Structure 1
Amino acid sequence: MDRIDILWAREQIKETKAKYFRFTDLRRTEDFLAQFTEDLVWTWLAEDNVTPLARFNSRQEFADYLESIKEKRLNGFSVHHGHTVEIDVIDEDNATAIWSMQDYLRVPGDKNFIGYGHYHEEYRRVGERWLISRCTLTRLHVDQLEGENALGT
């Protein structure tokens, strides 16, 4: 790949992640799920970065989980921010990225926190789109807000 192709791939990957953030916060579940490959592996780790809080081994499994918490999601709100990103375009169809992140979640009776950490991701080009094929969310710190403990610990 030449430099222009690499830059174009990086821009497309950034756009995919921007859609991830926007669609999850707007509760546009179908559009959110369209940012992932069908064979997605998505893992959310506790603040110790060892203990899995959730793990999904396909886009459908992730969709089923989101459906199971639909009422909670619709009654709350979230704001996800991706900050600096390190993207390594491996070849014309594969890339990795590490995104600094902050998320703010308020779900009555459940999640009430501000979290800080990183998304460690793998991307794969499917047709003309770069999609997230693997995502692991790690935490540096979580500020619990009033209400129940958000992470179930």
Structure 2
Amino acid sequence: MTDTATPSAPRTTADEVSRGMTDLEQIKRLKSRYFRYVDTKQWDEFRSLFTDDAEVDTSEAIVDPHGFWDGGRLPVVTPDAMTTALKARMTGVFTCHHGHDPEITFHSEDRASGVWAMEDIVRRPAGSELASFHGWGYYHEEYRKVDGEWRFTRVRVARLHVKQIDHFPAKD
């Protein structure tokens, strides 16, 4: 009797699986911190999530079929510029960001990319000139492992839909 079994695919070692799961969890936690630091206005911590040469692209951050957005999109900017802009724009603003269903691809031991479904609420105080909104879309990201820690090297947010919502009511 001859062996008709086909050759098996190369096997992944337990260490490779463990390292991959650890790296995947680290990238998930990186994204979780990104959302938490924006929502809790921890700007120094937010900035620390990026490499110094990273790019942040918000050119597709707002889909505006209703004409309520001010057109204040930022072009592709550095993490320092993004942090400064967010700090200025988010004073007194309630935000809640959620990311889910990550699709992470590892390109090497220290490079990865990912796509995250997202939903956010940006609610401004009464009298604000900028719109409050509820948005849905995707983050497209690239990561690099630096000194054993995953960091963002590129972040692009692309909202597919934005719904205008009410500002916070004026305080009495």
TM range (shorter): 0.7 to 0.9
Question: Partner residue of 1:135?
Answer: 155
Q: How does 1:4-153 map to 2 (within 5 A)?
A: 4-44=18-58, 45=60, 46-47=62-63, 53-67=73-87, 69=88, 72-108=89-125, 109=128, 110-146=130-166
Q: Which runs of 5+ in 1 are unaligned?
A: 148-153
Coordinate RMSD, CA, aligned:
2.0
* Secondary structure at the counterpart of residue 21 of structure 1: helix
Please report how far the alpha carbon of residue 115 of structure 1 lies from its aligned counterpart in structure 2 after TM superposition. Answer: 0.3
Whether the aligned pair in 2 keeps the contact of 1:41 and 1:55 (CA below 8 Å) is no
Whether the aligned pair in 2 keeps the contact of 1:98 and 1:121 (CA below 8 Å) is yes
Whether the aligned pair in 1 keeps the contact of 2:118 and 2:139 (CA below 8 Å) is yes
Please report how far the alpha carbon of residue 97 of structure 1 lies from its aligned counterpart in structure 2 after TM superposition. Answer: 0.6
Bigger CA drift: 58-67 or 96-105?
58-67
Q: What one-letter code is carried by the residue in structure 1 that aligns with 2:141?
A: E
Identity of aligned residues (%): 33
Please report how far the alpha carbon of residue 52 of structure 1 lies from its aligned counterpart in structure 2 after TM superposition. Answer: 9.1
Whether the aligned pair in 2 keeps the contact of 1:115 and 1:143 (CA below 8 Å) is yes
Instruction: Name the CA shift for 1:16/1:57 in 2 (closer, same or farther; >3 Å).
Output: same
Instruction: Name the CA shift for 1:57/1:76 in 2 (closer, same or farther; >3 Å).
Output: closer
Instruction: Name the CA shift for 1:77/1:41 in 2 (closer, same or farther; >3 Å).
Output: same
Higher helix proportion:
1
Whether the aligned pair in 2 keeps the contact of 1:43 and 1:52 (CA below 8 Å) is no
